[in-house]
Amino acid sequence: MNSFLAYFRLMRAGWVMAREGVVASLPVEGLRGPAKLGHRLATLIARRNVQRADRAERLTRAVERLGPSYVKLGQFLATRPDVVGSALAQDLSLLQDRMDTFSQESARERIVGSLGREIDDLFIEFGEPIAAASIAQVHPAVTSDGNGTRKVAVKVVRPGIRKRFYRDLDAFYLVARLAERLAPATRRLRPVDVARTLEQTTKIEMDFRLEAAALSELTENTRDDPGFRVPQVDWERTGRDVVTMEWIDGIKIADIKALEAAGHDLGHLSEVLIQSFLRHTLRDGFFHADMHQGNLFVDESGTIVAVDMGIVGRLGKKERRFLAEILYGFIRRDYKRVAEVHFEAGYVPAHHDRASFAQAIRAIGEPIHGQSAETISMAKLLTLLFEVTDLFDMQTRPELIMLQKTMVVVEGVSRLLNPHFNMWKASEPVVGDWIARNLGPARVVTDIKDGLHAAARLAEQAPEIAARAERFSEELDAMSRDGLRFDEETAQSIGKAEARHSRSGRIALWVIALTAIYIAFQF
């Protein structure tokens, strides 16, 4: 039944995309056979009044018709240009996550259900919603803590959003599985893993306790950082469906005229923004992954305040070293070292020729060195790098793609503040300090300390590892003596899987028939 509904929802989504002209706006180059025929049919199906709209407008209309789950899917795919391509990712990044508000009564019910306390016990005042997105909406409120009152922002989950998301998720997984089965070239991008990542990130985003924890962690990391902070969390009034944080009175960072009128130094703000992002990335390995203009404010003191931490990124020590070494290699024009770093990290398969890969890296680096420092974009460099590595079968690294996408956004905001922004000069203090601490002699000391800790943990686990090895040896002996046997439950599972496979064709025919009926009644 679930498979049937997934097919039906997929067909409906395809119909909406075709009617709104999204499919017709996709490039036709390289399409063959059924794909080319499908594109022609979609062009015929498209409504006449969408032909004058650009692709971003068509996407917006289609997503609005399909609902909040598809808004979230579009936003997620905007961070994955490796999957949908740079042009389409750019269009998706323009999607506005603005939805109709839901009633204050529903918001109150969600808060009481999540916190187990009445609204009057939690807030002195609780206002009407001021903004609504696909997952939640925000209310202004006032609290009292015995030392006076303070204004707070209360973010409340949208009723029914989890049920709707998981319902639509079946269709997303279906598309991913079909892509892997019918288009072998997409397997390098691991579509099912992409769907799984979407599921995981959205699960986290819909649990506001985790967003509060992210705010708390970033607060600790940036306590001594100049010019940057995030809102304080009110843990007493935070739960799974609601998060309460300090109200930010500030100017949106995109409002250049207001910033200038308030006397803020735009050049200084642009430097603080990029340095803060790089500091979080390299030093902490934990960064705000949704730092667009709408989530950044400048308070009265000139401090940048970042809000809405539903999406965050993490980089391990290996990934941070990889990032720093490739940036350092490009600065020194050491393309051989940049290539070696990719192979050492295991990102490029060992069967490729390192010299050829270094040649491809040089094709990126040399044009950049011919430009003035003000026009060199670190984000563009990473974008070109990932495009080249695609030619060498580099496996998709979601954490690096998210980093690259966030860097594009942050660098764009910095250049909005200061069109003559020198990315390399602003980055040098942070990147240079990290390289000195982690890629020089200090790296050897750190690696020795990490090795000793790992050895100590291994020694603690030695008895358990030995016991597991003994059990595994005994099981191998038993299999070699008695042969491999399936228990009854495993055999039944295999039989059911085969039965599902044989029914898939019949289900597809039923879906097509019912979708045709649905279309007839809708249009």
CA distance 369 to 229: 34
Give the angle 438-350-319 at the CA atoms, nearest 5°. Answer: 25
**Which residues are within 8 A (CB) of 297 and not within 5 positions of it... i.e. 6 or more apart?**
248, 250, 251, 252, 253, 304, 305, 307
Is residue 350 scored above 90 in pLDDT?
Answer: no
Neighbours of 522 (CB within 10 A): 10
Identify the pLDDT of residue 373: 58
Structure token digits, residue 362: 């040089």
Sign for the CA dihedral angle at 351, 354, 359, 362 comes to positive
CA distance 201 to 193: 12
Q: Which of 290, 308, 334, 477 is catalytic?
A: 290
CB 78 within 8 A of CB 89: yes
CA distance 412 to 131: 24
Q: Per residue in 51-110, pLDDT tens?
A: 666 677 777 777 777 777 777 777 777 766 656 666 777 667 666 556 788 999 999 999
Domain ranges (residues) in the chain: 2-96+163-203, 251-439, 443-482
Is residue 334 scored above 50 in pLDDT?
Answer: yes
Banded pLDDT at 448 (limits 50, 70, 90): low
Among 154-168, 275-289, 330-344, the range with the most confident prediction by mean pLDDT is 275-289
Banded pLDDT at 186 (limits 50, 70, 90): low
CA distance 264 to 298: 9
Q: pTM for the full model?
A: 0.70
**Which residues are within 8 A (CB) of 114 and not within 5 positions of it... i.e. 6 or more apart?**
239, 240, 241, 242
Among 69-83, 118-132, 337-351, the range with the most confident prediction by mean pLDDT is 118-132
Banded pLDDT at 516 (limits 50, 70, 90): very low
Across residues 121-126, what is the average pLDDT?
A: 95
Q: Per residue in 383-418, pLDDT tens?
A: 777 777 777 877 667 677 778 778 878 888 888 898
Sign for the CA dihedral angle at 251, 431, 364, 74 comes to negative
Question: Strand 286-288 vs strand 251-252: parallel, antiparallel, or unpaired?
Answer: unpaired
Is residue 520 scored above 50 in pLDDT?
Answer: no
Is residue 190 scored above 80 in pLDDT?
Answer: no
List residues bridging with 455 in a β-sheet. Answer: none
CA distance 227 to 349: 42
Structure token digits, residue 56: 């971003």
Identify the pLDDT of residue 499: 55
Question: Strand 228-229 vs strand 304-306: parallel, antiparallel, or unpaired?
Answer: parallel
Is residue 241 scored above 90 in pLDDT?
Answer: yes
The yes-or-no answer on residue 249 being catalytic is: no
Neighbours of 384 (CB within 10 A): 17
- Burial of residue 321, with CB atoms counted within 10 A of its CB: 0-12 exposed, 13-18 middle, 19 or more buried: buried
Neighbours of 494 (CB within 10 A): 10
CA distance 305 to 308: 10
- Tokens 């055999």 — which residue? 491
CA distance 141 to 150: 9
Is residue 512 scored above 50 in pLDDT?
Answer: no
Q: Per residue in 156-172, pLDDT tens?
A: 999 988 888 888 887 77
Q: Per residue in 198-229, pLDDT tens?
A: 787 788 888 999 999 999 999 999 999 999 99
